[in-house]
């Protein structure tokens, strides 16, 4: 190496050590934190899982109009879920979002939210099937697997931020981002089948009308004709699912 090149490198190194040690330490700390988050995401505890979902529930409840228990929607739901406060080891809490959307969802912390648009188009027994279906997603571990995947993505974003990438850290929007990835993302056919199977067993175990599983899916299939309802964008092939449920009626 030529002497002038050596001196140039020495000057660069000296400048880095005198000007940017704090910044380098912070970036390295972020990268270590990202690595820890990534490793932790593969083994998330039930307590941590519940805490994440509690935060998502609180934020999403704030963003929607919740039907009071004294309103027609509130009264109807309370009648439908009487005796379902605990189900198959889960402690459940129910609310109605007053919105014309046709949808429902459940979280691993026992949150179940039913949209009034879905209640408008379905009978009581069909709503019970929907509740059983959503509980089925939780019992099968679908929501837990999704939040682990979302945490890995978050960790990768943190690492990218530490190295000057464009991913950036999520602040208040992180919960909304988690909701989209964990609750609102497209379900696989396999996951839907598992949740449907659970719902059918749920209907039979509770002595509800199991045929409602078929009629509910048939209504969703009809709704899918030329519709962009949020339920349809996250649940595949309701007509095929209806046929599958029909074969389990016995």
- In 3-state terms the chain splits into helix, strand, coil percentages (rounded to 5) of 65, 5, 30
Q: Show the tokens assigned to 199.
A: 């719902």
b/e string for 104-127 if b means 16 or more Cβ within 10 A?
A: bbbbbbbbbbbbbbbbeebeebbb
For residue 106, what are its two tokens? 């459940």
Instruction: From residue 176, give the alpha-carbon distance in Å to each of 173, 181, 183, 187, 191.
Output: 5, 9, 10, 18, 22
Establish whether 134 is a catalytic residue. yes
Q: Pick the catalytic residue: 126, 134, 194, 218?
A: 134
Please identify every residue annotated as catalytic.
Answer: 134
């Amino acid at each position: 190496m030529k002497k002038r090149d050596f001196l140039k490198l020495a000057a660069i190194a000296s400048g880095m050590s005198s000007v940017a040690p704090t910044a380098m330490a912070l970036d390295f700390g972020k990268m270590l934190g990202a690595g820890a988050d990534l490793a932790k995401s593969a083994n998330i505890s039930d307590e941590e899982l519940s805490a994440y979902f509690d935060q998502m529930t609180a934020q999403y409840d704030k963003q929607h109009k919740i039907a009071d228990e004294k309103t027609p929607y509130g009264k109807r739901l309370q009648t439908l879920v009487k005796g379902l406060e605990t189900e198959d080891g889960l402690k459940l809490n129910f609310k109605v979002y007053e919105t014309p959307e046709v949808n429902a969802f459940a979280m691993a912390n026992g949150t179940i939210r039913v949209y009034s648009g879905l209640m408008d188009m379905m009978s009581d027994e069909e709503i019970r099937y929907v509740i059983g279906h959503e509980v089925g997603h939780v019992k099968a571990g679908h929501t837990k697997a999704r939040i682990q995947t979302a945490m890995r993505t978050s960790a990768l974003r943190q690492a990218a931020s530490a190295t000057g990438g464009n991913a950036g850290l999520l602040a208040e929007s992180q919960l909304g981002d988690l909701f989209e990835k964990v609750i609102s993302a497209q379900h696989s056919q396999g996951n839907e089948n598992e949740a449907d199977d659970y719902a059918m067993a749920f209907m039979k175990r509770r002595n509800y009308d199991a045929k409602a599983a078929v009629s509910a899916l048939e209504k969703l299939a009809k709704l899918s004709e030329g519709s962009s309802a949020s339920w349809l964008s996250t649940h595949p092939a309701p007509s095929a699912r209806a046929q599958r449920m029909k074969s389990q009626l016995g």
